[in-house]
């Protein structure tokens, strides 16, 4: 075995949360702790990227394509038509309209997103392998359900590191857990610092972020003593860089403790900005608040921010719930896109809207107002980050049942995201258990048409 690489690898295995440059500790650290051995220091992708970060909006439950971004005028005319097997076609409860410079047709459920359509590339030919929530959620995140593997956020963190030592590289806003729980953002075999840090909107968004009141007043005393103790311990063991890294982790934690509340504190945001997202000043929880906090994180260098909608888009017996689901997210999503754009951030921030799978254009006769899971055709979209605005990729047939043009598998979707971030998805690999793993398994083709 190559001994120098072994050492380097062991060092990397420890993970140094933050860039050491500029810290008080910097001068004490061995040379080995320069930024190139810090696994979370910013890293260059394989080629010039279009996007520097991702905000992924995930709609659990499986958002119906024909009621959202792939509406079908034909289907509206065929309501009740028998499809055999005790199923009938089912018209959308909502009308649709044409919007944007390219005359894109979308559902009336999204009047605000409609106004941003020229920044959005719709992919109407998505398909996946699995038609139930658990498996589809894992597939949308990690590409597979057959094994527990790292999710896309962990892969992006692994590939890019972070630009801000005071914040995690990968965060997940999840007021409630999606199907498959925290497994979707687990780092699995990737080093633990790539796992998503869950943010729970509310009084303590990150676990253990703040000390209790008594401790808070005295914490600097405690940290000061700790530093002296650790320094003494380290002085007899100065060849051990992991001890230095651990000492530094307390400085990074102090940074996180100070900086993270700032991210969640919207007081410096103007009324106009809050209004863009449709939120009130007292809000600290809504999807809009989460989208705005996501923007604030993206400004501060966080690489992968996932926002999991609290709403569940599963609707077997009644689609009416979509009115509320859309209302809770429409303004916030449009606000995020507009806000990023006005700040010049949209071109380097890839916003992804995705879900587990689509829903059938038909319904059971016994549950005529609902739709069932449908993995063979659905819609996701991307905006900013180097994608073509106002573009529609792929198409389904006149009722939204079959893909008739340019199918895009989840692996292809992932490959495209990685490409926009500057990665050849076949080359961003991690050797584990005798094999090189990657996000896209053995598949994945970049959808070049979608790229501006």
Partner 1 sequence: MACVVLAAQSPLMSDERADFFETHIRPMFVQKCAECHTGNTPEGDLRIDSMDSLTKGGMSGPSVVVKDIEASLLIQRVVTDDPDKQMPPEERLTDAEIGALKKWIQDGAYWPEAEKEWTSAADRAAHWAFQPVMDPAVPDVQNSAWCRTEIDHFIAAQHADRGLTPVEPADRRTLIRRATLDLTGLPPEIEDVEAFVADQSEDAFSRVVERLLASSAYGERWGRHWLDQARYADTSGDGTDTPIPEARYYRDYVIQSFNDDLPWNQFLREQIAGDLLAKEQPENPRANQQIIATGYIALSRRFGNSAFAEMNLIVDDTIDTIGKSVMGLTLGCTRCHHHKFDPVTMNDYYGLYGYFANTQYPHAGTEHQKDRQYFVTMKKNDTWPEQYDSLEAWAVSDREKQSGDQKIFIGGDPGQRGDVARRGFLSVLSSEFPEIPKDSSGRRQFADWLTGDSNPLTTRVIVNRVWQYHFGRGIVESSSNFGLQGSKPTHPELLDWLTSDFVRHGWSIKHLHRRIMLSAVYQLASTGSEANAKIDEGNTSLWKFDRHRMDAETIRDSLLAVSHRLKSGSNGRHPFKPTSELKYSQGRPFMAVFDHEHRSVYLMTSRLQKHPFLALFDGPDPNKTTENRRESTVALQALYMMNSPFLKETSEAFSKRLSEFSSEPEQRVRHAYAVATAREPNADELKEAIEFVTDYRNELIGQGKQQPEAEQLAWTGFSRVLLSSSEFLYVD
What residue spans of 115-189 are helical by DSSP H?
133-142, 152-160
| Dihedral sign from CA coordinates of 16, 17, 20, 23 | negative
Q: Contacts with partner 1 in 167-186 (CB under 8 A)?
A: 168, 177, 179-183, 186
Please say which residue, 212 or 272, places its beta carbon nearer to partner 1: 212
Rounded CA-CA distance 202/56 in Å is 20
Among 109, 116, 121, 145, binds partner 1 (CB under 8 A): 145
Q: Contacts with partner 1 in 243-262 (CB under 8 A)?
A: 243, 245-247, 249-250, 252-253, 255-257
Residue 161 CB, nearest approach to partner 1 (Å): 13
Q: Contacts with partner 1 in 2-41 (CB under 8 A)?
A: 3-4, 6-7, 10, 13-18
Among 88, 93, 209, 451, binds partner 1 (CB under 8 A): 209
Binding of residue 125 to partner 1 (CB under 8 A): no
Binding of residue 368 to partner 1 (CB under 8 A): no
| 75 within 8 A of 399, measured Cβ to Cβ | yes
Among 31, 48, 212, 282, binds partner 1 (CB under 8 A): 212
Written as one string, the DSSP assignment of 349-403 is EEEEEEES-EE-SEEEGGGTT---EE-SSEEEEEESTTBPTTEEE-EE-TTS-SE
Among 134, 200, 328, 445, binds partner 1 (CB under 8 A): 134
Q: Read off φ and ψ for residue 391, nearest 5 degrees.
A: -105, 145
Rounded CA-CA distance 237/233 in Å is 7
Q: Read off φ and ψ for residue 314, nearest 5 degrees.
A: -80, 130
Stretch that binds partner 1, among 51-59, 219-227, 263-271, 275-283 (CB under 8 A): 219-227
Residue 40 CB, nearest approach to partner 1 (Å): 9
Rounded CA-CA distance 368/147 in Å is 36
Burial status of residue 3 (CB atoms within 10 A of its CB: 0-12, 13-18, 19 or more): exposed
Q: List the Cα angle 415/419/420 in 5-degree steps.
A: 125
Site track 402-421 with partner 1 (rule: CB under 8 A), x = hit: --------------------
Binding of residue 222 to partner 1 (CB under 8 A): yes
Please say which residue, 238 or 342, places its beta carbon nearer to partner 1: 238
Please say which residue, 84 or 236, places its beta carbon nearer to partner 1: 236
Q: Contacts with partner 1 in 299-318 (CB under 8 A)?
A: 312, 314
Residue whose C-alpha is closest to residue 67's, from 358, 309, 426, 277: 358
Residue 159 CB, nearest approach to partner 1 (Å): 18
């Amino acid at each position: 075995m190559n001994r120098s690489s072994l050492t380097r690898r062991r060092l990397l295995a420890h993970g140094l949360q933050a860039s050491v440059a500029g810290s008080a500790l910097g001068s004490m650290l061995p040379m080995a702790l320069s930024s190139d051995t810090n696994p979370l220091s910013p890293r260059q992708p394989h080629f010039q990227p279009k996007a520097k970060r991702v905000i992924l909006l995930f709609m659990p439950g499986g958002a119906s394509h024909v009621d959202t971004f792939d509406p079908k005028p034909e289907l509206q005319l065929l309501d009740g038509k028998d499809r055999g097997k005790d199923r009938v076609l089912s018209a959308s409860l909502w009308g649709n309209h044409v919007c944007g410079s390219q005359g894109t047709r979308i559902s009336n459920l999204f009047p605000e997103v409609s106004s941003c359509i020229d920044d959005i590339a719709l992919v109407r030919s998505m398909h996946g392998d699995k038609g139930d929530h658990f498996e589809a959620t894992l597939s949308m995140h990690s590409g597979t359900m057959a094994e527990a593997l790292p999710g896309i956020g962990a892969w992006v963190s692994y590939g890019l590191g972070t630009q801000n030592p005071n914040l995690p590289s990968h965060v997940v806003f999840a007021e409630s857990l999606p199907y498959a729980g925290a497994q979707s953002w687990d780092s699995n075999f990737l080093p633990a610092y790539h796992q998503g840090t869950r943010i729970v909107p509310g009084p303590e968004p990150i676990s253990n972020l703040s000390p209790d009141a008594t401790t808070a007043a005295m914490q600097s005393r405690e940290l000061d003593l700790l530093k002296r103790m650790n320094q003494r311990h380290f002085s007899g063991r100065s060849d051990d860089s992991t001890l230095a890294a651990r000492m530094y982790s307390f400085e990074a934690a102090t940074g996180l403790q100070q900086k993270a509340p700032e991210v969640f504190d919207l007081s410096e945001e103007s009324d106009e900005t809050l209004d863009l997202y449709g939120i009130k000043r007292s809000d600290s929880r809504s999807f809009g608040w989460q989208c705005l906090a996501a923007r604030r994180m993206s400004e501060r260098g966080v690489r992968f921010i996932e926002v999991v909608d609290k709403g569940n888009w599963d609707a077997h017996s009644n689609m009416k719930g979509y009115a509320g689901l859309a209302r809770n997210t429409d303004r916030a999503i449009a606000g995020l896109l507009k806000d990023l754009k006005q700040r010049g951030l949209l071109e380097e921030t890839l916003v992804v809207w995705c879900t587990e799978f689509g829903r059938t254009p038909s319904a059971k006769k016994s549950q005529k107002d609902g739709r069932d899971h449908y993995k063979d055709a659905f819609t996701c979209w991307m905006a900013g980050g180097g994608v073509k605005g106002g573009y529609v990729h792929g198409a389904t047939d006149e009722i939204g049942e079959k893909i008739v043009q340019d199918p895009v598998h989840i692996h292809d979707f992932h490959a495209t995201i990685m490409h926009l971030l500057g990665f050849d998805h076949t080359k961003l690999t991690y050797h584990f258990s005798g094999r090189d793993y990657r996000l896209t398994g053995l598949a994945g083709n970049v959808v070049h048409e979608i790229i501006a």
